Amino acid sequence: MAQFEWDEEAQQKFEHLWAIYDSDGNGYLTLEEIKAQKLKEGAQLLGTNPTDEDIKDYMDRVDENGDGTISKEEMKNYLINFVRSLGDPRERLEHAIDVMMKTMDINENGLIDKEEFRKFMKVKGKTPLSDADIDEMFKAVDSDGDAATLTKDELMTWILLGISAPK
């Protein structure tokens, strides 16, 4: 798996954001500085509503030495570990595709035929698809010329392109 590397571009972005949050320029973030920079409002825009206690808990996770502030190095370490914990998105998607293939491929031939796809969509899909819808979806991602089955790569293309049934 490819590991995230902290490069010059990441450092420049980090320095820019750090300068915004570290309003007094002392090299440390306090609870007051984080709250003043609208972190709470930004989190609310993302659908969460953190309390001051939630923000303090976050700070405690980042504050490695327990002094009640976040140093530049502590924040950098936290961000590097966080991004690395997310893993490679392509590998996560490939794993999800593998799981989908195993779930849909009833006859275990490594291909998803239209009947297998239809059964899967009946259980997992929100809207039943007509035969014409399924035919069109299969044709849209067909790379081997058969348009009767989906390979793992074709299923990946379908997901990556966000191809859906016609309205």
Domain edge (last residue) among 33, 57, 86? 86
Same domain? For 14 and 33 the reply is yes
Residue 53 lies in a domain: yes
Q: In this predicted model, which residue has the larger pLDDT, 165 or 126? A: 126
Tokens read off for 78: 């936290």
Residue 3 maps to a domain: no
My answer on whether 78 and 99 are in the same domain is: no
Question: Do residues 69 and 30 touch, judged by C-beta distance below 8 A?
Answer: yes
In a domain, 149, yes or no: yes
pTM higher than the cut 0.85: no
**What integer is the mean pLDDT of 71-79?**
93
Of the chain, the percentage scoring pLDDT greater than 90 comes to: 23
131 lies in the same domain as 78: no
Pair (14, 58) in one structural domain: yes
Q: Which domain holds residue 37?
A: 8-86
Indicate whether 79 and 107 sit together in one domain: no
Q: What's the CATH number where 153 sits?
A: 1.10.238.10
**Domain C-terminal end among 19, 52, 86:** 86
Whether the per-residue pLDDT at 14 is higher than 60: the answer is yes
71 and 13, same domain (yes or no): yes
Torsion, Cα of 87, 90, 91, 94 (10° steps):
150
Task: Quote the CA–CA distance of 43 and 116 in Å, as a whole number.
Answer: 41
**Is residue 166 assigned to a domain?**
no
Identify the domain boundary among 37, 57, 86. 86
Residues 119-146: what's their mean pLDDT? 79
- Do 82 and 46 belong together in one domain? yes
> What are the pLDDT digits (tens) for 18-62?
887 888 999 999 988 887 766 666 666 666 677 888 888 889 999
Kindly state whether residues 16 and 69 are assigned to the same domain: yes
Q: Are 163 and 141 in contact (CB under 8 A)?
A: yes
Q: Average of pLDDT values for 57-79?
A: 93
Residues 78 and 94 in one domain: no
Q: How many domains does the chain have?
A: 2
The H-or-E segment that residue 79 falls in is helix 72-86
